[in-house]
Every structure is written in structure tokens, then in C-alpha cells.
Amino acid sequence: MSGDSVKESVSLEVLRQKMKDFAQERGWEPHHTPRNLLLALVGEMGELSEIFQWKGEVERGLPNWKEEEKVHLGEELSDVLLYLIQLSDSCGIDLSQVALRKLHLNALKYPVNK
């Protein structure tokens, strides 16, 4: 999707800070309460779901999708990620750390069968 452009490395912390700056510059922070952000996240999940609605099952990698559909999908995935990061931040949760911990807990719960 990004053509030949060099991919920039990004972390959840970089995205969190960029979103914080974005909201601060616009005076939106007072509205970014946990409940408001959760509802915004759910709304974006709906927008993401609409893209797949009525398509039936789709192949991994979406080989039969138009480029514009993939661009739209990327935008909605980003909306979901960015609201999730903001929601975590508004709750004082370090999403990177709790996600790593949850992966560890999942590995304990579902050990590899050899």
C-alpha cells in the first residue's frame, strides 16, 4: 500500500504521544474521558465491520480487493488502534506493558503441545 516509501518504525508510545499532542492542540482533551473514548472506539469497530459486511468469507491478504478498499480498511483499522491507545491512556494503563503481560498469561494458559 505504501509503495516504495521507507517504512518508519513506530511504537505504541509514539502513537500515544502523537494522539495526545493532536488532542491538546485542538482543545479536545476535556472530551476524552474513558467512557467517551470507549464509545468512539465501538463506533470505529462498527465502521471496520461495515467493510466486511455482506462480503462472505474473504481470503487472507485480501487478494481480490480493490486498492481503494484496502486503503479504506487501513484507515478504519487505524481509527480502532488510535482510539484503543487513547482509551488505555485515559485509564492510566500502559498498553504495551499489559499486552506483553497478557501474551505471557496466554502462553501459560495455552501451552504448546509437542
47 near Mg ion, judged by CB under 5 A: yes
Nearer to Mg ion, 14 or 43 (CB): 43
Grid cell of 4 as nine digits: 516504495
Are the CB atoms for 1 and 71 separated by under 8 Å? yes
* Minimum distance from residue 43 beta carbon to Mg ion (Å): 8
CB proximity list for 82: less than 8 A, separation 6 or greater: 15, 19
**Angle value at C-alpha 11, between 106 and 38, nearest 5 degrees:** 70
* 50 near Mg ion, judged by CB under 5 A: no
Task: Please say which residue, 42 or 105, places its beta carbon nearer to Mg ion.
Answer: 42
Stretch that binds Mg ion, among 10-18, 24-32, 77-85, 105-113 (CB under 5 A): 77-85
Q: Which of 45, 79, 80, 96 binds Mg ion (CB under 5 A)?
A: 79
User: Could you count the other beta carbons within 10 Å of the beta carbon of residue 18?
Assistant: 13
* Residue with Cβ nearer Mg ion (47 or 69): 47
